[in-house]
Amino acid sequence: MKRKLFISSVVILLLTIAIAFITTIMAKTPQQPYKELGKKDELEFRYYPAAVLASVTNSNPTYKGSANKNFRVLAGYIFGGNQSSNKIAMTAPVHMQMENGQSTMSFVMPEGYNLNNLPKPSSGSIELHKSPEEYVAVIRFGGWASDEKIESRKKELNQQLSKLGIKHQNNFRFLGYNAPWDFLFRRNEIIVGISKESVPA
């Protein structure tokens, strides 16, 4: 009985430490700014201002087949793999778009950077560019992302928008907010562009 109680206490302590560690790390990670415009059932509507992105494209169109490879390329860039050997802070979320037989991953550059002052990538596969401002519909899910989960939530987002009579731009993207080693409180989202006029009042 005492042994079971001891083991339970240790497990609770380790979980508490893990939760505190992950919460601290997430709180310190700058997030891409957006304005929440409202919610409808599971959907959230947002406005994203223009952002500066570093992107890499892979010929593998699946999350499983391209996420790790694309992440390593972009992480190498912000961790000093650039012509100035400068380190750039990691931000959240990581964007992924999988369509037309390929996948593109993007890191949002921190506030203060623009296309003129960003260090040039050492890798020719990385593109620095500016995203347009946009209005989006969002659906969230937890746990570890997979191609199956992404496709399921994409269909659900499409169905929910159809029920509301909202047309979308068919540019579905996956947003991942956690580092690969985070195992608690994982946050994932599927977003798609919509017009400003179609945002529910």
Say yes or no: 80 and 46 in one domain.
no
**Residue with token string 């992924």:** 96
Say yes or no: 150 and 108 in one domain.
no
Say yes or no: 56 and 106 in one domain.
yes
- Is the pTM for the entire model greater than 0.75? yes
Q: What is the pLDDT of residue 183?
A: 76
Rounded Cα gap, residues 88 and 120, in angstroms: 12
Q: Which residues pair with 47 in a beta bridge?
A: 35, 135
Say yes or no: 90 and 159 in one domain.
no
Say yes or no: 143 and 180 in one domain.
yes
pLDDT at 135 over 70: yes
Beta pairing class for 35-40 and 43-48: antiparallel
Q: What's the pLDDT tens digit per position in 63-74?
A: 999 999 999 999
Q: What's the pLDDT tens digit per position in 145-161?
A: 999 999 999 999 999 99
**Residue with token string 């560690």:** 21
Q: How many domains does the chain have?
A: 3
By residue range, what is the domain housing residue 92?
52-130
